[in-house]
Protein backbone atom coordinates (compact mmCIF):
# COMPACT_ATOMS: atom_id res chain seq x y z
CA UNK A 1 0.00 0.00 0.00
CA UNK A 2 2.77 2.41 1.02
CA UNK A 3 4.72 1.46 -2.11
CA UNK A 4 1.63 2.24 -4.22
CA UNK A 5 1.26 5.68 -2.62
CA UNK A 6 4.95 6.50 -3.13
CA UNK A 7 4.81 5.28 -6.72
CA UNK A 8 1.71 7.40 -7.27
CA UNK A 9 3.50 10.46 -5.90
CA UNK A 10 6.50 9.87 -8.14
CA UNK A 11 4.26 9.59 -11.22
CA UNK A 12 2.28 12.68 -10.23
CA UNK A 13 5.47 14.66 -9.72
CA UNK A 14 6.81 13.52 -13.09
CA UNK A 15 3.60 14.58 -14.86
CA UNK A 16 3.73 17.97 -13.13
CA UNK A 17 7.31 18.34 -14.33
CA UNK A 18 6.32 17.47 -17.89
CA UNK A 19 3.61 20.09 -17.80
CA UNK A 20 6.04 22.83 -16.75
CA UNK A 21 6.01 25.67 -19.23
CA UNK A 22 9.29 25.80 -21.14
CA UNK A 23 11.11 29.05 -20.52
CA UNK A 24 9.17 29.81 -17.38
CA UNK A 25 10.89 32.39 -15.22
CA UNK A 26 12.62 31.22 -12.08
CA UNK A 27 10.70 32.30 -8.97
CA UNK A 28 13.94 32.78 -7.02
CA UNK A 29 15.38 35.10 -9.64
CA UNK A 30 12.66 37.06 -11.45
CA UNK A 31 15.06 38.30 -14.13
CA UNK A 32 16.58 34.88 -14.79
CA UNK A 33 15.33 32.52 -17.47
CA UNK A 34 15.96 28.84 -16.86
CA UNK A 35 18.13 26.78 -19.19
CA UNK A 36 15.15 25.51 -21.20
CA UNK A 37 14.35 28.97 -22.52
CA UNK A 38 15.47 29.39 -26.10
CA UNK A 39 18.14 31.97 -26.81
CA UNK A 40 15.80 33.67 -29.29
CA UNK A 41 13.29 34.46 -26.57
CA UNK A 42 15.84 36.23 -24.41
CA UNK A 43 16.64 38.60 -27.27
CA UNK A 44 13.45 40.56 -26.71
CA UNK A 45 14.21 41.80 -23.23
CA UNK A 46 15.71 45.07 -24.49
CA UNK A 47 13.56 48.19 -24.29
CA UNK A 48 12.17 48.58 -27.79
CA UNK A 49 9.95 51.41 -28.91
CA UNK A 50 7.18 50.56 -31.35
CA UNK A 51 6.68 53.23 -33.99
CA UNK A 52 4.31 52.13 -36.74
CA UNK A 53 5.23 48.68 -38.07
CA UNK A 54 8.73 48.62 -36.57
CA UNK A 55 10.35 48.46 -33.19
CA UNK A 56 13.50 50.45 -32.52
CA UNK A 57 16.35 50.28 -30.07
CA UNK A 58 18.54 53.34 -29.58
CA UNK A 59 22.18 52.36 -29.08
CA UNK A 60 23.13 55.25 -26.82
CA UNK A 61 25.21 53.65 -24.05
CA UNK A 62 28.38 53.29 -26.07
CA UNK A 63 29.68 54.39 -29.44
CA UNK A 64 30.83 51.92 -32.04
CA UNK A 65 32.03 51.83 -35.62
CA UNK A 66 29.51 50.75 -38.25
CA UNK A 67 30.57 47.08 -38.19
CA UNK A 68 30.45 46.72 -34.43
CA UNK A 69 27.13 48.54 -34.28
CA UNK A 70 25.76 46.16 -36.93
CA UNK A 71 27.10 43.19 -34.98
CA UNK A 72 25.48 44.45 -31.77
CA UNK A 73 22.10 44.75 -33.47
CA UNK A 74 22.39 41.30 -35.08
CA UNK A 75 23.44 39.70 -31.80
CA UNK A 76 20.19 40.94 -30.31
CA UNK A 77 18.09 39.72 -33.23
CA UNK A 78 17.86 43.10 -34.94
CA UNK A 79 19.48 45.03 -37.80
CA UNK A 80 20.85 48.52 -38.02
CA UNK A 81 17.90 50.70 -38.98
CA UNK A 82 16.56 51.25 -42.50
CA UNK A 83 14.38 54.24 -43.38
CA UNK A 84 11.97 53.82 -46.25
CA UNK A 85 9.56 56.74 -45.97
CA UNK A 86 9.17 60.28 -44.72
CA UNK A 87 6.81 58.93 -42.06
CA UNK A 88 9.42 56.48 -40.73
CA UNK A 89 12.03 59.21 -40.87
CA UNK A 90 9.87 61.69 -38.96
CA UNK A 91 8.85 59.23 -36.24
CA UNK A 92 12.43 58.14 -35.65
CA UNK A 93 13.68 61.72 -35.62
CA UNK A 94 11.06 62.74 -33.08
CA UNK A 95 11.94 59.73 -30.90
CA UNK A 96 15.64 60.63 -30.92
CA UNK A 97 14.92 64.30 -30.23
CA UNK A 98 12.59 63.36 -27.37
CA UNK A 99 15.55 61.54 -25.84
CA UNK A 100 17.47 64.82 -25.97
CA UNK A 101 19.94 63.34 -28.45
CA UNK A 102 19.00 65.24 -31.59
CA UNK A 103 22.54 66.68 -31.78
CA UNK A 104 24.23 63.24 -31.91
CA UNK A 105 25.25 61.03 -34.83
CA UNK A 106 23.50 57.68 -35.36
CA UNK A 107 24.46 54.84 -37.68
CA UNK A 108 21.85 53.35 -39.97
CA UNK A 109 22.26 50.19 -42.10
CA UNK A 110 22.74 52.31 -45.25
CA UNK A 111 26.02 51.70 -47.09
CA UNK A 112 27.64 51.98 -50.53
CA UNK A 113 30.61 49.73 -49.74
CA UNK A 114 29.55 47.28 -52.46
CA UNK A 115 29.37 49.78 -55.32
CA UNK A 116 30.49 53.36 -54.75
CA UNK A 117 27.52 55.70 -54.95
CA UNK A 118 24.88 52.92 -54.91
CA UNK A 119 23.55 53.07 -51.39
CA UNK A 120 21.29 50.32 -50.09
CA UNK A 121 19.94 49.23 -46.73
CA UNK A 122 21.87 46.31 -45.28
CA UNK A 123 18.82 45.65 -43.05
CA UNK A 124 16.70 44.41 -45.95
CA UNK A 125 18.92 44.52 -49.04
CA UNK A 126 16.79 47.16 -50.74
CA UNK A 127 18.30 50.05 -52.68
CA UNK A 128 17.58 53.40 -51.08
CA UNK A 129 14.47 54.96 -52.61
CA UNK A 130 13.26 57.52 -50.09
CA UNK A 131 16.13 59.98 -49.51
CA UNK A 132 16.84 62.55 -46.84
CA UNK A 133 20.41 63.62 -47.55
CA UNK A 134 21.91 66.80 -46.18
CA UNK A 135 22.76 69.38 -48.83
CA UNK A 136 25.90 68.31 -50.69
CA UNK A 137 25.71 64.70 -49.42
CA UNK A 138 26.64 62.00 -50.09
CA UNK A 139 30.06 63.46 -50.94
CA UNK A 140 32.24 60.36 -50.35
CA UNK A 141 34.85 62.58 -48.68
CA UNK A 142 38.32 61.04 -48.81
CA UNK A 143 40.44 61.26 -45.65
CA UNK A 144 44.23 61.46 -45.35
CA UNK A 145 44.42 57.76 -44.48
CA UNK A 146 42.66 56.95 -47.72
CA UNK A 147 39.32 56.01 -46.15
CA UNK A 148 36.25 57.27 -47.98
CA UNK A 149 32.70 57.70 -46.74
CA UNK A 150 30.62 54.57 -47.29
CA UNK A 151 28.25 54.35 -44.30
CA UNK A 152 25.04 56.29 -43.78
CA UNK A 153 24.56 58.22 -40.56
CA UNK A 154 21.84 60.50 -39.23
CA UNK A 155 23.29 63.86 -38.29
CA UNK A 156 21.75 67.24 -37.54
CA UNK A 157 24.59 69.04 -39.29
CA UNK A 158 23.11 72.51 -39.63
CA UNK A 159 20.07 72.47 -37.33
CA UNK A 160 17.77 71.37 -40.13
CA UNK A 161 16.96 68.07 -38.48
CA UNK A 162 18.47 64.59 -38.52
CA UNK A 163 19.37 64.36 -42.16
CA UNK A 164 21.61 61.82 -43.87
CA UNK A 165 25.35 61.96 -44.36
CA UNK A 166 27.83 59.42 -45.70
CA UNK A 167 30.56 59.03 -43.12
CA UNK A 168 33.65 56.80 -42.74
CA UNK A 169 32.50 53.37 -41.51
CA UNK A 170 35.30 53.36 -38.90
CA UNK A 171 33.79 56.42 -37.21
CA UNK A 172 32.52 55.51 -33.73
CA UNK A 173 29.11 56.81 -32.82
CA UNK A 174 25.64 55.89 -31.51
CA UNK A 175 23.34 53.76 -33.64
CA UNK A 176 19.74 52.63 -34.10
CA UNK A 177 18.63 49.00 -34.36
CA UNK A 178 15.27 47.93 -35.77
CA UNK A 179 13.21 44.79 -35.85
Q: Interface residues with Ca ion (CB under 5 A)?
A: 112, 137, 139-140, 149-150, 165-166
User: Considering beta carbons, is residue 38 or 139 the nearer one to Ca ion?
Assistant: 139
Residues contacting residue 161 through CB under 8 Å, at least 6 positions apart: 93
**Shortest Cβ distance from residue 115 to Ca ion (Å)?**
9
Q: Which is nearer to Ca ion, 50 or 160 (CB)?
A: 160
Strand ranges in 39-140 using DSSP code E only, listed in sequence order:
49-51, 54-64, 79-80, 105-111, 120-121
Q: Are 174 and 105 in contact (CB under 8 A)?
A: yes
In the complex, the smallest distance separating the C-beta of residue 172 from Ca ion, rounded to whole angstroms, is 16
Cβ closest to Ca ion, residue 57 vs residue 108: 108
Q: Residue 44 to residues 23, 48, 57, 81: CA-CA distances in angstroms?
A: 13, 8, 11, 17
**88 vs 166, beta carbon nearer Ca ion:** 166
- Nearest approach in angstroms of CB 28 to Ca ion is 53
At closest approach, how far in Å is the CB of 116 from Ca ion? 5
Amino acid sequence: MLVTIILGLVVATSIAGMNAVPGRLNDDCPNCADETISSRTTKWTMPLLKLGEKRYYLGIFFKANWYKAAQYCRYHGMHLVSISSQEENDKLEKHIKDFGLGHEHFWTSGTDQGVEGAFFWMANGWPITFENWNAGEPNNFRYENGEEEDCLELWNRDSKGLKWNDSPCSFETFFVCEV
